Amino acid sequence: MRIRVCHLYPDVLNLYGDRGNLLVFHRRAQWRGIELDVDQFLLGDRGDFSSYDFIFMGGGADSRRTLLLKNLEIIAPYIVDAVEKGTVLLAIGLGFQLLGRYIKTEDGDVMVGAGVFDAYTEMDSSRSVGDILLEATADLQEELKKAGNMDITTLIGFENHSGRTYLGEQGKALGRVIKGKGNNGKDRTEGAYYKNAFGTFLHGPVLAKNPHFADLLLVKALSPQEEISLEPLDDSLEILAHNTMKKRLIR
């Protein structure tokens, strides 16, 4: 078995240990005998995404937003197309904001995003920084339990983002905030998902802190349509780390 991975803009989107997500994804595949091919897609690169099973975008500095959007504009239709066909996608922080419908700057300028998620961001001086704990959205809970074989439905991370992101009418949140700020600090939503595409503000890296989420992405990347099950791993360390933080956060 083989999974083809596209790492989108690792030259710019590489903050807060986000590249660790691919390491976690890679190892968890490898431990089950699944091979991974990773292509780096850099600024200025062109091409379509139809041959990939998993597209990953990390977080980055806000000052790179304009540069990124200029590049993203060209490839956005291909990303949308891939997501429509069931390709798995994970976008963190700025990556997530760029894949929304638009970003409105503090000066009131509207910058058009890739439109993968029905979400939009309004920049202001607010910044959300700290540990965050979510309860995954109901639809996802069952999938998470099954994929990870761990009976965990919470997600943990460290958020560090500016501005406020809101979901549109069609937008579904990744989870409900138990502790922390989430998308906008108001409606307790965090992240977004659409088909097999996930956006979130959780750093940590999110897949290291949430092995069940990593396995869910792995399952979907292997088989976007039907459910399959993965060989269980010894996740005692990962689960201990997850539960230690969870306990601290709900105390």
140, burial (CB in 10 Å: exposed 0-12, middle 13-18, buried 19+): buried
Six-digit token string for 115: 């439109």
Stretch that binds other proteins, among 49-57, 124-132, 141-149, 223-231 (CB under 8 A): 124-132
Cα of first residue to Cα of last residue in the chain, in angstroms, is: 43
Q: Which is nearer to other proteins, 58 or 100 (CB)?
A: 58
The yes or no reply on residue 45 touching other proteins (CB under 8 A) is no
Contact yes or no for 112/120 (Cβ under 8 A)? no
Q: Which is nearer to other proteins, 46 or 226 (CB)?
A: 46
Beta-carbon contacts of residue 206 (< 8 Å; ≥ 6 apart) = 21, 90, 92, 155, 157, 200, 213
Q: How far is the CB of 148 from other proteins (least distance, A)?
A: 15
- Residue 78 burial (CB count, 10 A): 15
The yes or no reply on residue 131 touching other proteins (CB under 8 A) is yes
Q: Is 56 helix (H, G, I), strand (E, B) or coil?
A: strand
Q: Using CB under 8 A as the criterion, what x/- string covers residues 209-228 for binding other proteins? A: x-------------------
The yes or no reply on residue 247 touching other proteins (CB under 8 A) is no
Contact yes or no for 48/81 (Cβ under 8 A)? yes
The yes or no reply on residue 149 touching other proteins (CB under 8 A) is no
Site of interaction with other proteins (CB under 8 A)? 11, 14-20, 23-24, 27, 61-63, 67, 127, 129-131, 158, 160, 162, 203-205, 208-209, 234, 237-238, 240-241, 244-245
